[in-house]
Amino acid sequence: MSWSFLTRLLDEISNHSTFVGKIWLTVLIVFRIVLTAVGGETIYYDEQSKFVCNTQQPGCENVCYDAFAPLSHVRFWIFQVIMITTPTIMYLGFAMHKIARMDDSEYRVVRNRKSKRMPIVSRGAVRDYEEAEDNGEEDPMIAEEIEPEKPEKPDKGAEKKHDGRRRILRDGLMKVYVCQLLWRSAFEVAFLFGQYIMYGFEVIPSYVCTRSPCPHTVDCFVSRPTEKTIFLLIMYVVSFMCLLLTLLEILHLGIGGIRDSFRRRSAHNARSGSAHPTRAEPTAPPGYHATMKKEKLKRQLRDSPMGDSGRESFGDEGPSSTELERLRRHLKRAQQHLDLAYQIDEGSPSRSSSPEVNTAAQTAAEQNRLNFAQEKHGETSEKGIHA
Amino acid sequence: MMSWPALYTQLVGANRHSTSLGKIWLSVLFIFRVMVLMVAAESVWGDEQADFTCNTLQPGCENVCYDQFFPVSHIRLWCLQLLFVSTPTLLIAMHVAYRNHRDKKRLLQASRRAAFLSSKSQLEQEEELESLKKRKLPIAGSFWWTYAFSILCRLLFEGGFMYVLYVLYDGFRMPRLVRCDQWPCPNLVDCFVSRPTEKTVFTVFMATASSLCMVLNMAELTYLIAKSIQNTLWRESTEIEQ
């Protein structure tokens, strides 16, 4: 019950993490929070009442216990969990804020200019988020109030998925995500080190104390030392595991990024002909690419608008004018379909699935046309849709 | 034990109409203060009287000395502080509810009139009511004043309680040994507090969290005032142009 404030937020975080991030989250909740709450209660409840010193001097036990345990294990672990989840929670707040703003500006631009900007495919997702945003789902703490209304609209909550490496990349959140991961590892290392300095690897069964008012050197005896030692070692292992998972996630993002850039480069080389710069910056915010895209589009007559906003290069070959014409017609038709679909779909509840699937469901016809157009320009754009 | 989840559900409803800083403040409040209080601090202070030992066999001396040095326990002070600090947000919730009620009445009247003229379906009406409930009120006009007043109240309560804690316990440190000679203690008696270091750590942590919340509140107030000045200037400039 008392941990529910944190666990509610952590549930929301799982919608904004990569696959490894979700594993980390599960390990955190199951192994650390549950262990601390349950084990802490049962093992440490009598840590002071059963801390017995070999003296009748009143007050000696109090001061010796205080010298033995300035900060109890359980409290240390609670601080540790809170501090380690703090960077992730801050990322969540930032991501939701950015997504809300990004969807707002993208939607407005698309509406006003009717440009042939790329992610026409994900405009459906943009609309969904706008609707969801209007319902006040900007903040994880706010998401709570959606719960009582859940039976009426079961899918609004599920539309808010921004998980997976590619999605995070596309939304321009990669830099902040990696930064958050680095902070998390730093805190983890710091706490592991602190735990070693303060507690070592073992809970000694007997503690020698010389503080006043103890009359002389006094032996004090700790309650359940073996059980506490085992628990301490388990928490060490779990902390290491979480640290490893965080480092693994950083590696996974790094390798994925390298792999993507290689793929892009090989695709670029395969179709190479033009001297067009590849978009090799996965971490640039969507706004940057929107501006770049507009300029490129003006220059290249929208010959390859099918790039993913964060990752893909614009098409390389210059298509013939007939193809251009066909493409333009397709895009125009797709846009009309989308507008129509949005108007019809304003009030009706959408199916409970991820935004990508929702988009596909709502704009199936335009997708077909777009796919056709995209296939003509290679597979890189396909990846953008399926990411 | 306080029913914090009940408070949480109340606050989260009003949170929708807050600025981003307000939302951060609510998260900090619940994670760093309420949760730490519930999960950790209560177990540290749990045995504060049972383990308060005095160097005397005189019955009643320990009770009296404990009472002298701890008139109000830290835990109770923090609970009260969190309660008082959360209360101004209810002002915002009340204002929003009042505004919604008024707009809903107006909407119903208008739609009743319109229903005679145009064929506005029942469904459309319900949709409008729903959107009314779900919309986010812009922080302007009388709502701005309510909001600013609530932030001011929050600041005052935070500062007030921190000051009271500081004065009552002579700083944020928990002493290990206190000397007491209240009747019926026979003479000056040494009394030993339980877990003084841990309590000091928690007192400092809660004081830090409280200061962080105060900083957030001040930033939010400054932002509101700045935004309102900016809006007034912009409005004046557009009026001058016209």
Q: Is the pLDDT of residue A134 over 80?
A: no
Q: How many percent of chain A have pLDDT more than 70?
A: 59
Residue whose entry in the numeric block shows the structure tokens 């009247």: B109
Confidence of residue B169 (pLDDT cuts 50, 70, 90): very high
Q: Is the pLDDT of residue B218 over 90?
A: yes
A41-72 per-position pLDDT tens digit: 888 988 888 899 999 888 899 999 999 999 99
Q: Is the pLDDT of residue B186 over 70?
A: yes
Q: How many percent of chain B have pLDDT more than 70?
A: 96
A116-127 per-position pLDDT tens digit: 444 333 333 334
Residue with the bigger pLDDT between A343 and A257: it is A257
Residue whose entry in the numeric block shows the structure tokens 């046309």: A369
φ/ψ of residue B29, rounded to 5: -60, -50
Which stretches does DSSP call E strand in chain B? 53-54, 177-180, 189-192
For the purposes of burial, counting CB atoms within 10 Å of the CB of A282, is it exposed (0-12), middle (13-18) or buried (19 or more)?
buried
What is the rounded distance in angstroms from the CA atom of residue B13 to the CA atom of residue B17? 8
Q: What is the mean pLDDT of residues B10-24?
A: 84
Confidence of residue A74 (pLDDT cuts 50, 70, 90): very high
In whole angstroms, how far apart are CA B105 and each of B47, B100, B111, B129, B131?
55, 9, 10, 10, 14
Q: What is the mean pLDDT of residues B83-107?
A: 87
Q: How many percent of chain B have pLDDT more than 90?
A: 43
Residue whose entry in the numeric block shows the structure tokens 């013939």: A320
Chain B residues near residue A66 by CB distance under 8 angstroms: 176, 194-198
H or E stretch including A220?
strand A218-221
pLDDT score at B193: 93
Give the range among A19-28, A224-233, A338-347, B101-110 with minimum mean pLDDT: A338-347
The residues of A whose Cβ lies within 8 A of any Cβ of B are 1-6, 9, 37, 45, 48-49, 57-59, 61-63, 65-66, 69-72, 74-75, 78-79, 82, 86, 89, 93, 97, 134-136, 138-142, 144-145, 213, 347
Chain A interface includes B5 (CB < 8 A):
yes
Q: Would you give the DSSP letter of residue A349?
A: P
What is the rounded distance in angstroms from the CA atom of residue A32 to the CA atom of residue A43? 15
Q: Is the pLDDT of residue A151 over 70?
A: no
Q: What is the mean pLDDT of residues A74-83?
A: 93
What is the rounded distance in angstroms from the CA atom of residue B3 to the CA atom of residue B214? 24
Confidence of residue A107 (pLDDT cuts 50, 70, 90): low
Q: Is the pLDDT of residue A141 over 50?
A: no
- What ipTM, to 2 d.p.? 0.78
pLDDT score at B90: 85
pLDDT score at A387: 45
Vertex A32: Cα angle to A15 and A200 (nearest 5):
140
pLDDT score at A64: 93
Q: Is the pLDDT of residue A307 over 50?
A: no
What is the rounded distance in angstroms from the CA atom of residue A294 to the CA atom of residue A298? 6
- The total of other beta-carbon atoms located within 10 Å of residue A93's CB is 18
pTM value is 0.68
Give the range among A80-94, A328-342, B178-192 with minimum mean pLDDT: A328-342
Look at residue A120 and give its three-state secondary structure.
coil
In order, the DSSP letters of A34-98 are IHHHHHHHHHHTTTTTT-EES---TTHHHHHHHHH-SS-HHHHHHHHHHHHHHHHHHHHHHHHHH
Residue A12 C-alpha, separation from nearest chain B C-alpha, in angstroms:
14
Please tell me which of the candidates B13, B31, B193 has its beta carbon nearest to residue A6.
Answer: B31
Question: Do A145 and B40 make contact, defined as CB atoms within 8 angstroms?
Answer: no
In whole angstroms, how far apart are CA A55 and each of A11, A47, A58, A218?
51, 18, 8, 7
Residue with the bigger pLDDT between A145 and A254: it is A254
Chain A residues near residue B55 by CB distance under 8 angstroms: 57-59, 213
pLDDT score at A137: 38
**Which residue from A231, A190, A240 is spatially nearest to A83, judged by alpha carbons?**
A190
Look at residue A218 and give its three-state secondary structure.
strand
pLDDT score at A357: 45
For B80, the token pair is 């009260």
What is the rounded distance in angstroms from the CA atom of residue B129 to the CA atom of residue B124? 9
Q: What is the mean pLDDT of residues B110-137?
A: 72
pLDDT score at A288: 55
Tally DSSP H helices, then E strands, for chain B.
9, 3
User: Are B190 and A59 spatial neighbours (Cβ–Cβ below 8 Å)?
Assistant: yes
* Residue environment code for A358-374, b if the CB has 16+ CB neighbours within 10 A, otherwise e: bbbebbeebbebbbebb
pLDDT score at B226: 93
Q: Is the pLDDT of residue A285 over 70?
A: no
What is the rounded distance in angstroms from the CA atom of residue A174 to the CA atom of residue A284? 8
pLDDT score at A298: 55
Q: Would you give the DSSP letter of residue B179?
A: E
Chain A residues near residue B131 by CB distance under 8 angstroms: 134
Q: What is the mean pLDDT of residues A197-224?
A: 90
Give the range among A311-325, B142-156, B227-241 with minimum mean pLDDT: A311-325
What is the rounded distance in angstroms from the CA atom of residue A118 to the CA atom of residue B239? 40
Residue with the bigger pLDDT between A105 and A276: it is A105
Confidence of residue A291 (pLDDT cuts 50, 70, 90): low
pLDDT score at A71: 93
Q: Would you give the DSSP letter of residue A207?
A: E
Give the range among A299-313, A372-386, B112-126 with minimum mean pLDDT: A299-313
